Amino acid sequence: MPDTVNAYSLAKIAGGKDNRSEARRQEALLKTGALQNAILTSANFSIIATDEKGIIQLFNVGAERMLGYTASEVVNKISPSDLHDSLEVMARAQALSQELETPIAPGFEALAFKASRGIEDIYELTYIRKDGGRFPAIVSITALREDDGELIGYLLIGTDNSVRKQVESELHQALAAAEKANRAKTDFLSSMSHELRTPLNAILGFAQLMESGTPQPTPSQQRNLDQILKAGWYLLELINEILDLALIESGRVTLSRESVSLAEVMLECRTMIEPQAQKRGIGMTFPRFETPHFVQADRTRVKQVLINLLFNAIKYNKPGGSVAVEYTLSPPNSIRISVRDTGAGIAPELVAQLFQPFNRLGKEAGTEEGTGIGLVVTKRLVELMGGAIGAESAVGVGSVFWVELSLTTAPHLAFHEAEHAALLQPQAPNDTPLRTLLYVEDNPANLELVEQLIARRPDLRLLSAADGNIGIAFARSYQPEVILMDINLPGISGVEAMKILHADPLTAHIPIIAISANALAHDIEKALAAGFFNYLTTPIKVNAFMDALDVALKFAQTAHAANKEQT
């Protein structure tokens, strides 16, 4: 009896295990069937299966919905390539032929080439519906094989890409519109800069001539000239700040990233700012850099930032006060430069408003001129260079403005002859022959100003031309040593005239200096890249004008000597 029971029990247990295994297997099969059915009946993506020759064997509900065909219309009748744009299929075949250096025939072979070699391929092509309509699609193609590796067909899974393409198109249009708006804004700023600077050039230029003329102005006249010059330079500063801020806000400012020596920049700033401090009785102290420190920044903009902070520290200081420039290293790789003053200080609740445009914190009624733009421009420039700026202040004690910039390694030193020459101020010997300058300018006030400046140089004579075509003719006839060229001329522009002169062997050697009221960095870079020897902005600064002229004359003399030696 026990043996019988045991045998029965074992058989029962074994039978139970078999039943459970069969149930699980049937359940798995049902799930697999449901999954397959869900895929084949899905309307969200197309599934097309072909035989090894590329003839369609399966066409699911999604394919019917996307393409407008019923399965009976395509199965065993056509290839998937018949549903694609033929030109795209041909282009794909040509691209594969070049890539693999093997001729690939257009048609389904081109679509399935990579898949047939065991590489799943995904590509973008245009599907063509039964009604002739077209839509972009992303298609994935995979080779189907038997267990022994024999190719039996291909599986193509596609999705409608219309929405993505539409979004990309709209984004492209939006970017194009934004770029167009930015270009228009830049053109407007360039035009506005020119229009504002042109009358200022006459005001400041002739005032400088009167101030330095013979006989010397009377005390009363000098006071009047001082007021004209003070107001004129302040107006120029205001124009520069507004245009600078507008350019920064529009994203059109380009900064170079170079290794900048803080010691050199600080020395240049000190040279420029100390005379201002001495006039106001303000004492200044600058740090000594025992170890050279270099920051990754734009050299010109670093100077602009520091000079603005230093000038503010002087302007808003008390009589007999002081300004101290300090630096501290900020781990791991930054340096903080601080400008500390002994002015009236700022209330804590107002410190947060320091970097707001046109906000002078109630100083509008004071005696010091200002726009409330300088600190905003300074902050934007520091941030564009990857740095940070801040301020601390206490009423009755003073303020500290600081800037943090990233440290970098020292640059490779190189000697640039052009830069060295630009620092020279050659003086013409008494026996130097008379040299000719040509000024191409249509503005009578600008022309008269330069005429009076050149009249102070007995070694020079000035010819003038009122438009570009006359200027070209004069340059060819008189062979001047240097040409001064306005950019905005009637007829052809100064840039066009310069290119014509450079293309002519008779005049190609003559250095041409642009003189223009277009003072935006974009305009200057564009003109220099076009081939101008130098670029001066108006209002003209007399000393800078004479220095630039001497450099150009020195260059012309050297070039002439070299040509003579070759001849």
DSSP 23-34: HHHHHHHHHHHH
The per-residue pLDDT for 10 is: 36
The per-residue pLDDT for 93 is: 83
Residue 96's pLDDT band (cuts 50, 70, 90): confident
Return d(Cα 519, Cα 422) in angstroms, integer: 20
What is the mean pLDDT of the segment spanning 409-422? Answer: 44
The per-residue pLDDT for 425 is: 35
| Percent of the chain scoring above 70 in pLDDT | 80
Check residues 90 and 180 and name the one with the higher pLDDT: 90
The per-residue pLDDT for 9 is: 39
pLDDT at residue 168 is higher than 80: yes
Cis ω before 215 (30° cut-off from 0): yes
Of 64-73, 94-103, 272-281, 408-417, where does mean pLDDT reach its minimum?
408-417
Of 329-338, 464-473, 531-540, where does mean pLDDT reach its minimum?
464-473
pLDDT at residue 86 is higher than 90: no
The per-residue pLDDT for 567 is: 56
From the number of C-beta atoms within 10 Å of its C-beta (0-12, 13-18, 19+), residue 430 rates as: exposed
Determine which helix (DSSP H) or strand (DSSP E) holds 49, and give its type and residue range: strand 46-51
Q: Starting at the edge strand that comes first in sequence, how are the strands of the sheet with 512-516 ordered?
A: 460-465, 435-440, 482-486, 512-516, 534-537
The per-residue pLDDT for 437 is: 94
Which domains does the chain carry? Answer: 42-160 (3.30.450.20), 256-410 (3.30.565.10), 422-566 (3.40.50.2300)
Residue 297 corresponds to which tokens in the numbers above?
């920044």
DSSP per-residue letters across 97-154: HHHHTS---SSHHHHHHHHHTT--EEEEEEEE-TTS-EEEEEEEEEEEE-TT--EEEE
Beta strands 121-128 and 134-145, pairing class: antiparallel
* pLDDT tens sequence across 180-239: 776 666 666 666 666 777 787 788 888 888 887 778 888 888 888 888 887 777 777 767
Of 65-79, 140-154, 428-442, where does mean pLDDT reach its minimum?
428-442
Residue 59 corresponds to which tokens in the numbers above?
């066409």
Return d(Cα 172, Cα 423) in angstroms, integer: 48
pLDDT at residue 383 is higher than 50: yes
The per-residue pLDDT for 407 is: 92
pLDDT at residue 426 is higher than 70: no
The per-residue pLDDT for 536 is: 92
Of 20-24, 384-388, 486-490, where does mean pLDDT reach its minimum?
20-24
The per-residue pLDDT for 418 is: 30
Residue 151's pLDDT band (cuts 50, 70, 90): confident
Q: State pTM to two decimals.
A: 0.42
Check residues 363 and 414 and name the one with the higher pLDDT: 363
Return d(Cα 294, Cα 327) in angstroms, integer: 13
Return d(Cα 241, Cα 235) in angstroms, integer: 10
Residue 261's pLDDT band (cuts 50, 70, 90): confident
